Amino acid sequence: MKKFIALLSVLFLSAALVACDNGGEDTTITIGANIYTFGDNFMNGVVRPALEDYADHLGVVIDIVDSENDQGKLNDQVDVFIESGVDVLCINLVDPAAAGTIIEKAKAADIPLILYNKEATVEGVMATYDKVWYVGTNSAQSGIIQGDMMLADWQANPSWDKNGDGKVQYVLLKGESGHPDAEARTTFAVKSFTDAGIEVEELALKDSSTWNTQEALDTMASWITSYGDSIELVISNNDGMAFGAITAMETAGVDFPVYGVDALDQALQHIKDGEMNGTVLNDGVNQARATLDLAVNAARGVDVTFATAWELDNTTTKAVRVDYLAVTPENVDEF
């Protein structure tokens, strides 16, 4: 009899599960997402496929659109997502100062919102909605790691000070002005030298809203023409731009130390080949996973970090920050 009751309850339970599955509304979570531009090496090459793979793994539907580096276009895309009834939004801002516009739209529609990769730069804006969170990094950490790596190499290679004046003559490929990563990397990469008592001299700095290879190639080519061999160090705030610098140097037949950020596959190869001196792992795969974990929990109405290993930094910025790691010729094989 006991066995029979047990069997009956199993049958009843499976019937109930099937009923849930077939009856009523479709419970599959749908996510409206974007990449600020598919032209970005890191966002399109690392983060986008990681989002797609992890969405598959979680069994949720994600639609990722290209905002073509146009915040107006992104605003419209968000309107379309909201009208189509997505359960949650994962948004890579074009303009980090435009976070308020997106937050207001999500709030008006009562849809949870995960901002990722470009952190809002408007003070207090994250507190205006209880269903908005951020997934990214601690921007300063990448600059500190890159700076410490460059400082160690500089100190180990006295010949890098080509004019022997004790100062580092550098050029810097910045990326997008106003982007927290670009700003922090620019400051902290150089601070490692000055903190160690080594003077620096900036020969040139160039920003680029798309952080891309071609623009950096053109910029570096013109710097080689203007400054030639007085360049002692090339600091690039991402790998994509470092690739442009490397090509420009090869074309001109010169060779300066170059450092990037992101640890794209191509950068790892350049480090192995001795064409690049170091980079910093920007862990896009884990950023994508955290983004979707938070999104799915938010869509289900449970605590965003529920059943995950992620932690929010505080109640004001409400951010999950994934760690950066140094990648050097010594440890490159581990990546």
Nearer to Ca ion, 23 or 158 (CB): 158
Q: How far is the CB of 230 from Ca ion (least distance, A)?
A: 8
Q: How far is the CB of 84 from ligand BGC (least distance, A)?
A: 25
Nearer to Ca ion, 134 or 193 (CB): 193
Q: Please give the angle made by the CA atoms of 148, 154 and 156, to the nearest 5 degrees.
A: 105
Q: How far is the CB of 169 from Ca ion (least distance, A)?
A: 5
Other C-beta atoms lying within 10 Å of the C-beta of residue 307: 9
Nearer to Ca ion, 195 or 199 (CB): 199
**Binding at 163: pick from ligand BGC, Ca ion, none (beta carbon under 5-8 Å per type):** Ca ion
**Binding at 144: pick from ligand BGC, Ca ion, none (beta carbon under 5-8 Å per type):** none
Residue nearest to Ca ion (CB): 161
Q: Which residues from 148-177 bind Ca ion, rule CB under 5 A?
A: 161, 163, 165, 167, 169
* Nearest alpha carbon to residue 221 among 239, 244, 205, 240: 244
* Strands laid side by side in the 233-236 sheet: 200-207, 168-175, 233-236, 258-259
Q: Do the Cβ atoms of 153 and 326 come closer than 8 Å? A: no
Q: Report which residue type is found at 12.
A: F
Q: How far is the CB of 236 from ligand BGC (least distance, A)?
A: 10
**Binding at 161: pick from Ca ion, ligand BGC, none (beta carbon under 5-8 Å per type):** Ca ion
**Binding at 165: pick from ligand BGC, Ca ion, none (beta carbon under 5-8 Å per type):** Ca ion
Which positions touch ligand BGC (CB under 6 A)? 40, 42-43, 117-118, 179, 181, 211, 238, 240, 261-262, 282
Q: How far is the CB of 224 from Ca ion (least distance, A)?
A: 17
